[in-house]
């Protein structure tokens, strides 16, 4: 199985990735608290459309190695850079889902766009999650505090309900199967407990608003207007205003996990954007 080590850090961490297809490279960066397998419904259409698709596991998640402390976005972007330079990739399209949008923006901030031709922010946390005086539509701090506490006291119980909210799943609205919920739970519960907590701290506290100016490549922004995890007003609406060269699409009725529930719509938008 392929791994790349991030040698930019004091402690090397082995990052697991899959690399399939040929053509221009597309790197898929998964959301919290899943793994590269969350992109399954996008990988095959992208490969069949003629792209080289590289999907990897964030440190501490999936099959990547775990480190104790370093889950800040500088470190996560360094892992992405190690992948890009290790595979000597150019003309790359970076596609970040949810938390993964942070790696996209921080990579462009720290390493520039020399190897990157396009970016996509899918149901992304960019630019800011928490509610603040100048971000009234963000998630209230007490809700974020409850998530942090739940991850410390009963992480697996929290994850059960979290993935229902991920897809807006209820007795009256079953947009995904129970098997999908179980599969996601297995992946999420199998991640490092410490990594799950530290990564959540990263996405819940990092303010990317000053970095939006660094996103200079053509950028696709896709969000669902029924996202109960990352409210559209604190994320996509602001990203679309702060990133100059962007193409913004709202998928009506889509939840946070729109890459699964609305895969046809997302794949069509993504392929149209990449083909331009």
pLDDT given for residue 5 in this prediction: 72
pTM of the predicted model as reported, rounded to 2 decimal places: 0.95
pLDDT of 6 higher than 90: no
Strand partners, 6: 13
For the segment 163-218, what is each residue's pLDDT rounded down to a tens digit?
999 999 986 678 899 999 999 999 999 999 999 999 999 999 999 999 999 999 99
Q: What percent of the chain is modeled with pLDDT above 70?
A: 97
pLDDT given for residue 11 in this prediction: 64
Closest CA to 95 of 213, 242, 221: 221
How far is residue 4's CA from residue 79's CA, in Å, rounded to a whole number? 9
pLDDT of 10 higher than 60: no
Question: How large is the average pLDDT for residues 223-238?
Answer: 97
Q: Which value, to the nearest 10 degrees, does the dihedral of the CA atoms of residues 48, 28, 224, 127 take?
A: -150
| 223 a catalytic residue | no
- Tell me the average pLDDT of the chain: 95
Which one of 163, 223, 256, 262 is the catalytic residue?
256
Q: What percent of the chain is modeled with pLDDT above 90?
A: 91
Question: How large is the average pLDDT for residues 73-84?
Answer: 96
Which one of 184, 227, 235, 262 is the catalytic residue?
227
The per-residue DSSP string of 62-122 comes to TTS---SS--SHHHHHHHHHHHHHHTT--SEEEEEETTHHHHHHHHHHHH-STTEEEEEEE
pLDDT given for residue 171 in this prediction: 65
pLDDT given for residue 225 in this prediction: 97
How far is residue 172's CA from residue 69's CA, in Å, rounded to a whole number? 41
| 227 a catalytic residue | yes
| 225 a catalytic residue | no
Contact 122, 102 (CB under 8 A): no
pLDDT given for residue 3 in this prediction: 72
For the segment 120-161, what is each residue's pLDDT rounded down to a tens digit?
999 999 999 999 999 999 999 999 999 999 999 999 999 988
Question: How large is the average pLDDT for residues 218-224?
Answer: 98
- In sequence order, which ranges of 87-222 are alpha helices (DSSP H)? 100-111, 141-153, 155-166, 178-189, 193-205
Phi then psi for residue 220, to 5 deg, are -95, 130
Which one of 98, 124, 192, 235 is the catalytic residue?
98
pLDDT of 31 higher than 90: yes
């Amino acid at each position: 199985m392929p791994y790349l080590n991030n040698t930019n850090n004091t402690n090397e961490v082995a990052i697991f990735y899959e690399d399939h297809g040929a053509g221009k490279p597309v790197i898929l960066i998964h959301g919290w608290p899943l793994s590269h397998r969350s992109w399954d419904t996008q990988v095959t259409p992208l490969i069949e459309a003629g792209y080289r698709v590289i999907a990897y596991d964030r440190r501490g998640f999936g099959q990547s190695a775990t480190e104790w402390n370093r889950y800040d976005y500088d470190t996560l972007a360094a892992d992405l850079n190690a992948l890009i330079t290790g595979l000597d990739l150019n003309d790359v399209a970076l596609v970040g889902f949810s938390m993964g949008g942070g790696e996209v923006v921080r990579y462009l901030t720290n390493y520039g766009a020399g190897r990157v031709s396009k970016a996509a922010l899918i149901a992304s946390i960019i630019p800011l999650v928490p509610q603040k005086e100048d971000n009234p539509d963000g998630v209230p701090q007490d809700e974020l505090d409850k998530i942090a506490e739940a991850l410390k006291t009963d992480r697996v119980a929290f994850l059960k309900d979290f993935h229902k909210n991920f897809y807006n799943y209820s007795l009256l609205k079953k947009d995904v199967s129970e098997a999908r919920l179980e599969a996601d739970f297995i992946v999420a519960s199998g991640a490092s407990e410490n990594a799950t907590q530290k990564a959540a701290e990263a996405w819940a506290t990092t303010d990317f608003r000053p970095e939006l100016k660094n996103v200079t490549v053509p950028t696709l922004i896709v969000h669902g207007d029924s996202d109960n995890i990352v409210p559209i007003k604190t994320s996509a609406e602001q990203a679309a205003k702060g990133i100059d060269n962007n193409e913004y699409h709202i998928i009506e009725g889509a939840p946070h996990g729109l890459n699964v529930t609305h895969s046809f719509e997302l794949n069509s938008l993504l392929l149209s954007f990449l083909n331009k």
